[in-house]
Every structure is written in C-alpha cells, then in structure tokens.
Amino acid sequence: PYIENAPLTTNGHLIVVCGIEVNKDGKWIIVNDPAGKDDKSVRLKYKLEEFMKAWERSNYIMYVIHKQN
C-alpha cells in the first residue's frame, strides 16, 4: 500500500516506531526508517490510516525490544 513520504516501496523492511502524534491535521505514526537517504531523513511521520494498511499486509508482525531487568 502507498504511504505518503515513504522513502521507498518494498515488500518489507524494518522500521522503528518511536511514537504517535495527534494534532489538528490528524493522527501520525512517528518512525525511524533506515531507508532514509541520510541520518537527517530517517525520522518520518506517516499518516495513521496509511501506516495501518501497510502494517496489515504483514499480518501485524512486530518485534518488541525491551530492557531486561
């Protein structure tokens, strides 16, 4: 599925979800996407609806990383 501002279209690559932003323009998923051209273009905002459609294609696969106590 199309995601506006995505640096590439692929059948899959890993991104890091860093947060969610809600503002007057809508709901956004904040990500670090390693497909960015350089370090400054890695942090991106994707529209929630577009992100969810793309994520659905992977059957909502995710890796959860947490600090072990």
The three-class DSSP label of residue 52 is helix
What is the residue-level pLDDT of the chain in tens, covering all 69 positions? 567 777 666 666 788 999 999 999 999 999 998 888 888 889 999 999 999 998 898 899 999 888 887
Tokens of 14: 């890993």
Rounded to two decimals, the pTM is 0.76
Q: Give the pLDDT confidence score for residue 10 in this predicted structure.
A: 67
Q: Give the pLDDT confidence score for residue 23 in this predicted structure.
A: 96
**Ramachandran region of residue 54, left (φ > 0), alpha (ψ -120 to 50) or beta?**
alpha
How would you classify the pairing of strands 16-23 and 43-47? unpaired
